[in-house]
Amino acid sequence: MSYLLHIDSSSLGEASVSRRVARSFLDEWRGEVVHRDLAATPVPHLSGAGISARITDRAVHTPEQAEAAALQDQLIEEFLGAEAYLFTVPMYNLTMPSVFKAWIDQIVVDERTFHPGGTAPTAGRPAVLISARGGGYGPGAPNEGFDFVVPVLEAILGEDRFLGLDITTVIPELTMAPHVPALSALLPMHEASMSAAHAQARDLASTLRTPRAA
Read off the pLDDT of residues 25-54 as tens digits, 9 standing for 90 and up.
999 998 999 999 999 999 999 999 999 999
3-class SS of residue 76: helix
Q: Is pLDDT at 212 greater than 60 in this prediction?
A: no
C-alpha separations of 5 from 80, 91, 128, 203, 213 in Å: 10, 21, 10, 18, 18
Q: What is the domain extent for residue 190?
A: 4-213
- Can you give the pLDDT at residue 116? 85
Read off the pLDDT of residues 83-125 as tens digits, 9 standing for 90 and up.
999 999 999 999 999 999 999 999 999 999 998 888 999 999 9
- What is the rounded distance in angstroms from the CA atom of residue 20 to the CA atom of residue 23? 5
Strand order across the 84-88 sheet: 33-37, 4-8, 84-88, 126-130, 166-170
- What is the rounded distance in angstroms from the CA atom of residue 65 to the CA atom of residue 196? 46
Choose between 1 and 65: higher pLDDT.
65
pTM listed for this prediction: 0.93
Q: Is pLDDT at 138 greater than 70 in this prediction?
A: yes
> Strand (E) positions, 46-181?
84-88, 126-130, 166-170
> How many domains, the chain?
1
Taking the CA of residue 142 as centre, how many other CA atoms within 13 Å lie in the half-sphere pointing to its CB? 3
Amino acid at 203: D
Read off the pLDDT of residues 9-32 as tens digits, 9 standing for 90 and up.
999 998 999 999 999 999 999 899
Transcribe 5-64 into DSSP letters: EEEE--TTGGG-HHHHHHHHHHHH--S-EEEEETTTSPPPPP-HHHHHHTTS-GGG--HH
Confidence of residue 209 (pLDDT cuts 50, 70, 90): low
Domain at 200, CATH number: 3.40.50.360
Q: Is pLDDT at 214 greater than 80 in this prediction?
A: no
**What is the rounded average pLDDT for all residues in the chain?**
94
Taking the CA of residue 36 as centre, how many other CA atoms within 13 Å lie in the half-sphere pointing to its CB? 21
Confidence of residue 1 (pLDDT cuts 50, 70, 90): low
Q: Is pLDDT at 213 greater than 50 in this prediction?
A: no
- Can you give the pLDDT at residue 202? 97
Q: What percent of the chain has pLDDT over 90?
A: 88
The dihedral of CA 33, 205, 132, 184: what is its sign?
Answer: negative
